[in-house]
């Protein structure tokens, strides 16, 4: 997990000097994730986003840079990296494998989950299809840091935590369900042959930017990698098309809104039609995303929380609620009704 990097004014000024920006006017905290800390900065009358990334290799950084350049050349609304004094875009900074990067600020804001309408979702689906089409010739490779092999390792960590009583026994039923579901996914993926390509990896609601009601772009390509294109679509469907229920039934609950699922798939297929194999695989990909996110957040909430008590955590039960909503053939029925 990334440390919360706290910068003072002189440190920000020093970093900006690497980009020929000498007149710092103001700066403030922006966001913190498990991979990076970001600040907004204002210099020379312009606003930028400053990002300090940890635990990523230089190859990872180059992959992101080249992917963004290809998407920019295709005219897509993605972040623009600012070149440093050495005409590079990622600058080693301090210790612990940290890199600094500077982006031109993308205007707009993320929608709240209850603001999302089918028209918003259709636009996001279209953008995701545009990304997949625009990168069909992209030759760089980066392994998915949250692929099936990683998730099997994380599941093993949960099993060991139960055995060693680092995780309370009340979590045993959910860990068992996730383990069985993950084994099914492993078996499925060993025999599946699905189109691969460069994916955003995390085009969720928090990644979209809107001004008033108009979509202006997407940010944060930290999870970009090469993997199944249909899994990338499933990740977005899981975020943009899920509607939480105001009624709690022993924990978070909700449902997938059919009109939104239909809108996103329609928007996507206007740019890149799904293959028959991808249509058949989409229900299982939706379940894979729910399993992956459940395991990640269960570890963050229950095993890693003490490492960073200041960080906000999302209840893992939001993800297990999605998995429950996709069980017993409901994912298949949802996709069939959405695609027709």
**Percentage helix, strand, coil for the chain under 3-state DSSP, each rounded to 5:** 45, 15, 35
CATH architecture of the domain 9-104 equals 2-Layer Sandwich (3.30)
Q: How confident is the model at residue 3, as a pLDDT?
A: 47
Q: Is the dihedral of CA 90, 314, 111, 335 positive or negative?
A: positive
Per-domain boundaries in the chain: 9-104, 118-339
* % of the chain at pLDDT higher than 90: 74
Average pLDDT for the chain: 91
Query: pLDDT of 38-47, one tens digit each?
Result: 899 999 899 9
pLDDT tier at 2, thresholds 50, 70, 90? very low
* % of the chain at pLDDT higher than 70: 93
> Does the pLDDT value for residue 227 go beyond 80?
yes
CATH architecture of the domain 118-339 equals Alpha-Beta Complex (3.90)
DSSP category for residue 207: G
Q: Which two tokens stand for residue 97?
A: 């494998």
**Cα end-to-end distance, the chain, whole Å:** 42
- Per the CB < 8 A criterion, the answer to whether 277 and 194 are in contact is yes
Please enumerate in sequence order all residues whose Cβ is within 8 A of that of 317, keeping only pairs 6 or more positions apart, or say none. 251, 252
- Per the CB < 8 A criterion, the answer to whether 103 and 80 are in contact is yes
Query: pLDDT of 243-287, one tens digit each?
Result: 998 877 677 889 999 999 999 999 999 999 999 999 999 999 999
9-104 and 118-339 share one CATH topology?
no
Which parts of the chain fold into alpha helices (H)? 9-17, 58-73, 118-134, 148-163, 172-191, 229-240, 258-269, 276-302, 317-325, 330-339
Taking the model in full, what pTM does it have?
0.93
Residues 313 and 293: their CA atoms lie apart, in Å, by: 13
Query: pLDDT of 194-223, one tens digit each?
Result: 999 999 999 999 999 999 889 999 998 989
Mean pLDDT for 161-186 is 95
pLDDT tier at 1, thresholds 50, 70, 90? very low
> Does the pLDDT value for residue 308 go beyond 60?
no
> Does the pLDDT value for residue 32 go beyond 70?
no
């Amino acid at each position: 997990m990334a440390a919360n990097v706290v910068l003072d004014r002189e440190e920000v000024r020093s970093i900006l000097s690497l980009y020929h920006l000498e007149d710092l006017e103001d700066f403030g905290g922006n966001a913190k994730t498990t991979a990076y800390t970001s600040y907004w900065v204002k210099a020379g009358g312009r606003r930028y986003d400053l990002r300090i990334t940890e635990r990523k290799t230089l190859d990872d950084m180059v992959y992101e840079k080249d992917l963004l350049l290809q998407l920019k050349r295709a005219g897509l609304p993605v972040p623009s990296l600012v070149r440093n004094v050495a005409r590079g875009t990622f600058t080693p900074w301090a210790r612990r494998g940290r890199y600094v990067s500077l982006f031109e600020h993308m205007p707009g804001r993320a929608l709240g989950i209850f603001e999302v309408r089918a028209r918003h979702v259709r636009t996001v689906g279209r953008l995701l299809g545009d990304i997949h089409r625009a990168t069909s010739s992209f030759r760089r490779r980066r392994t998915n840091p949250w692929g099936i092999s990683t998730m099997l390792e994380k599941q093993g960590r949960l099993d060991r935590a139960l055995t060693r009583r680092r995780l309370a026994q009340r979590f045993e039923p959910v860990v068992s369900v996730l383990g069985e579901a993950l084994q099914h996914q492993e078996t499925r993926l060993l025999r599946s042959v699905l189109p691969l390509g460069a994916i955003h990896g995390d085009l969720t609601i928090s990644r979209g930017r809107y001004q008033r009601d108009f979509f202006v772009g997407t940010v944060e390509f930290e999870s970009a990698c090469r993997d199944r294109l249909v899994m990338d679509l499933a990740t977005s469907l899981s975020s943009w098309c899920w509607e939480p229920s105001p009624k709690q039934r022993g924990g978070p609950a909700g449902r997938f809104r059919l009109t939104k699922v239909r809108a996103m798939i329609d928007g996507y297929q206007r740019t890149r039609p799904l293959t028959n194999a991808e249509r058949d695989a989409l229900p299982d990909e939706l379940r894979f995303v729910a399993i992956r996110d459940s395991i990640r957040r269960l570890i963050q909430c229950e095993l890693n929380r003490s490492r960073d008590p200041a960080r906000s955590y999302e209840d893992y039960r939001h993800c297990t609620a999605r998995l429950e909503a996709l069980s017993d053939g409901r994912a298949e029925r949802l996709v069939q009704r959405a695609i027709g």
